Structure 1
Amino acid sequence: MAEIDRKGAQVKFPPPLIFVSFMALAYWMGSFYPITFSSPEWLKFIAAFLMVMGFAILLHILFIFKRQQTAIEPWQPTSVIISHGYYRYSRNPIYLIFCLYPIGLGCMLGSLWLIVSLVPACIAVYLIAIKAEERYLHQKFPQEYGEYCLRVRRWL
């Protein structure tokens, strides 16, 4: 158990950078092969609002992790399973928040590439981070995390 605690989930690449990398690639692709659309002002407003709300929720989740005295970084050891608040609805609310940004920016800039970048970003986050996190949490908290997985879906 001490080895598991020391190593954490061993996620090697920060998940936010996965989303940012795919968004940058999408933006670059859009400069060569633009696939644009015209967004009405109300859609741009909703997109901006969701991005700001996502950031506020992310700060709240950071506060929850601090209050529970556990690491939010997936490469650090976890001391407790958080299963209340946002975690009652999703095992990965932080990654769901990250999904708001390619959608929001895509709507604001009228870039289908940015919106589509969400799909490979989610796949990469699953392969790089979520699988490792779930394996780690199942090893460290077998019964508690197993029961939690039965109650709460991975995404929504």
Structure 2
Amino acid sequence: MMEASSMLKLPPPVWALVYVLLAAAISWQLDWLKMPGFPLPLLGIALATVPWILPVWAIIVFRREGTEINPTSPTNRKLIATGPYRHTRNPMYLGLVIVTLGIAVSIGAWPMFLAPIAVFATANWVHIPFEEAKMRRQFGSTYDDYVGRVRRWV
């Protein structure tokens, strides 16, 4: 297994793409073995498109506030607690997890459901802890207050 610092070198959307492509390759090798009741193309399309609202909204807020979007930047100019950040501390990651779930639901092959699990795991145990430590060092009790008000996911 790669160490967390190595995994931070690739941005979360790249990891999501890697996981989807890997799951697709496994699915192809297994002749697209479908889960019972799947695929659900309309639900999958909705889950793969609507969640883009979260990261786009988050990017707009970051740009408007003049702070960094890159999760591995050494510092952030400002702690953002508005827009989607009032409801979840990680709207971009939440959007990626739901998008990959939508792809899995659309395709319906059981290995595809590993992709959203892998995206969640990478975000939750690699990227988010790095970002939280950085924000805590930089913003101290202001960040701790924010963490007390807003959940990590939903």
Q: TM-score interval w.r.t. the shorter chain?
A: 0.7 to 0.9
Larger mean CA deviation between 108-117 and 133-142 belongs to 108-117
Q: Distance in 1 between matches of 2:46 and 2:122?
A: 26
Answer yes or no: is 1:30 the counterpart of 2:23. no
Quote the offset at 1:153 in angstroms.
1.1
Unpaired runs of 5+ residues, structure 2, are: 1-7
AA aligned to 2:45 is A
**Match of residue 68 from structure 2:** 71
| TM-score (ref. length: structure 1) | 0.83
**Match of residue 52 from structure 1:** 49
Q: Show CA shifts across 1:42-91 (max 9, x none).
A: x4223212322222332222111100000111122311111122111111
Residue 13 of structure 1, aligned match among 6, 10, 15 = 10
AA aligned to 1:67 is R
**Match of residue 96 from structure 1:** 94
Runs of 4+ with >3 A deviation:
37-40
Q: Distance in 1 between matches of 2:68 and 2:45?
A: 29
Q: Please tell me whether the aligned partners of residues 18 and 125 of structure 1 are also in contact (alpha carbons under 8 angstroms).
A: no
Quote the offset at 1:36 in angstroms.
1.0
Quote the offset at 1:138 in angstroms.
0.3
Q: Please tell me whether the aligned partners of residues 88 and 150 of structure 2 are also in contact (alpha carbons under 8 angstroms).
A: yes
- Report the 3-state secondary structure (helix = DSSP H, G, I; strand = E; otherwise coil) of the residue aligned with 1:141: helix
**Match of residue 144 from structure 2:** 146
Output the aligned Cα RMSD.
1.7
| TM-score (ref. length: structure 2) | 0.84
